[in-house]
Structure 1
């Protein structure tokens, strides 16, 4: 058995296995790195196996079987020969070898996209290459999508599927943009950058910093790192690394054509002149851009309000109104980009027309996502949160566990709370809820809480929001509400409260 690649996630090795006709054949085997693998790592193996009829041996490493042996689940793949590209990195590649490999990788990715797959985890460990780069195969389709476009929810970076060092900005869930085939092209750009220069375009110490790099930082162009890298090749990579998908190459075929043009010039003239990029880069389908047009003023108002909350700490309420479908939520989600830098937190919930009789249901929904994010952290990172929550809630923790059941997984079983008359019970609940929010809304990570469809809010939540905004003990909180102004008249409880 020869181990080809090993990281914290999976082990990838080559071995010989006996087939049904008794022959010993070389195969590749992938198994989770942990002895007790997480559910998501097993689901990835299962998902990749499920794609076996769509993956073609010409450009992908085809799965053969999903087996369980010695108490471990493993995915058996065909062995096309070659080794993971990751094993050949660490030093800068010669331009000619780079171009040959890069053309093969772009071609393989183009074939995957033509099949209607978005890989979502393009990186050197998932690319098998032979010596000269004549043959390239993609593997690691564990989170590949058959959807032409999908939205990544703004989850904590620790739980977003994919590999942070190679992840397109929109894949982090902090860009208010969908993931599509062009997200793979960004990851391709990171991979090409590493092949040519020997280093990644960014370095970061923790998941949130990776997210910040991809969204906000500009990489140093490869030709500035190494003078011998031709400017045209450097420009191709920088185009792949554009922050918004509209500015990148639109197809892998377009990248491949430009790389071939570079290789032809290199072979004939020994140099590569600059030329206009993307002349043959025509997408096979219409992609509507997802930029927000004509909303600069509204977005500026939101961002300015958040800046004030960051600097002064005083809580603010911002209301966004308009007809249904006009794009109220889309504007609010533009906040994600700025929340990354100061390590801000974002939680959102949506009121439901049919759940008006369930008090606080929408707040529970909003805080559920924050608590789930904490549960994804390592024990060392979770400990300070556990301490802060336990200390802040004191003997009344059960009130918040009743609201957000997942909280129990962090602070454990709580003692029952004392019975009080209804009015006192409500005051106590509001006090404990303010304390609960204060754990998330802090100077080092202000909280933006977005409540959608306020036209359907319940009376209990309305009272609680008033309490939050008028008491002085809650700081660093920005409350954003959206409602349909055609459904909120002057007599609506929300208007009367305002």
Structure 2
């Protein structure tokens, strides 16, 4: 299985055009999968993406930050906007430009900060670096790199459609016809003004809980409603603020079959948290292990019995309290959960 870090495909001279288009589609599909799960990535970088060429797929090796060269203008709090899926598309545009040319579209000179670079500078035309490129491919990348979120691709749907149409034209003996980029772009996210009219109270309650969490306190909000009433969209709106504050958000859905599973949705979220944790710096993980051991060490058997994934976070040599009754184990585990 040939798996490479995306950075390895940024070469001098750059990769040939056919490979670039195929790789662009693979990367766009990767971003599409994340957005379908209502995840804003927020830190795309060629150093954090692995590519499996045989399986025509790519995966993010999760990190909490990336180089500022791959950030969107709004990630520097410019334009008074919060990051969204369109921020990921901007970062993807930076990566695709670098793949196609072997160089970044923007460079910070001397003490110039990256926020200013992304807000004010424009990329060097692709045709100046790779003469012979047609206007359609340049238009696709320039649309990704537009400063304004409104002028960018609004979703991966439109981007994938354009890339696949371009690939089809390449396969058709390279007979390129003018393509109106973004024509089939579908806006998947709804703004507060057109989708949350009359629900500002719920939004305020959710954001107040989020602010508590930023301050290190526990905050619980239950989102309960009938199917199709916008629960996912409400949670998704909160996720944008989480990313803006440099945090991560785990969103899980309570399925009907979990109703008879004790702590089912909570454990599902905790498993996802452990999975994401391993991409954090070693120093942070070490501090967290020490904190968990100090606070919950004596309860290790109870915790691991109900949450096996926690085994790697706790010291197996520590003295623990043994409880043989399974029902009491779960009762004790529930008592340990924050309230």
Tell me which interval the TM-score lies in, with the shorter structure as reference length: 0.5 to 0.7
Q: 1:208-357 counterparts in 2 under 5 A?
A: 219-222=118-121, 240-242=144-146, 247-248=151-152, 282-283=180-181, 286-293=184-191, 294-296=194-196, 297=200, 298-311=202-215, 315-357=218-260
Partner residue of 2:323?
A: 419
Structure 2 CA distance for partners of 1:363 and 1:416, relative to 1, 3 Å: same
The offset of 1:372, in angstroms, is: 1.1
Structure 2 CA distance for partners of 1:387 and 1:330, relative to 1, 3 Å: same
Check conservation: 2:83, 2:240, Cα contact below 8 A.
yes
The offset of 1:367, in angstroms, is: 0.6
Structure 2 CA distance for partners of 1:217 and 1:406, relative to 1, 3 Å: farther
The offset of 1:193, in angstroms, is: 12
The offset of 1:384, in angstroms, is: 0.8
Return the alpha-carbon distance in structure 1 between the equivalents of residues 252 and 306 of structure 2. 14
1:429 aligned to 328, 333, 339, which one?
333
Structure with greater proportional helix content: 2
Q: Deviations over 1:195-251 (max 9, x none)?
A: 565449x999xxxxxxxx9xx99824127xxxxxxxxxxxx9986434776522676
The offset of 1:149, in angstroms, is: 7.3
Bigger Cα Rg = 1
Given the alignment of the two structures, is residue 384 of structure 1 paired with residue 283 of structure 2, yes or no? no
- Unaligned runs of 5+ residues in structure 2 are 50-58, 76-81, 123-139, 163-177
Q: 1:462-481 counterparts in 2 under 5 A?
A: 468=339
Name the count of aligned residue pairs: 268
The offset of 1:364, in angstroms, is: 0.9
Structure 2 CA distance for partners of 1:284 and 1:340, relative to 1, 3 Å: closer
Check conservation: 1:143, 1:161, Cα contact below 8 A.
no
Return the alpha-carbon distance in structure 2 between the equivalents of residues 433 and 346 of structure 1. 19
The TM-score with structure 1 as length reference comes to 0.41
Structure 2 CA distance for partners of 1:197 and 1:319, relative to 1, 3 Å: closer
The offset of 1:290, in angstroms, is: 1.7
Q: Secondary structure of 2:250's match? A: strand
Return the alpha-carbon distance in structure 2 between the equivalents of residues 396 and 285 of structure 1. 58
RMSD over aligned CA atoms reads: 5.3
1:187 aligned to 68, 91, 95, which one?
95
The TM-score with structure 2 as length reference comes to 0.57
Q: Which has the higher contact order (CA 8 A, sep 6+)?
A: 2
Return the alpha-carbon distance in structure 2 between the equivalents of residues 175 and 401 of structure 1. 37
The offset of 1:338, in angstroms, is: 1.4
- Unaligned runs of 5+ residues in structure 1 are 1-41, 49-120, 205-212, 224-235, 255-279, 435-467, 469-498
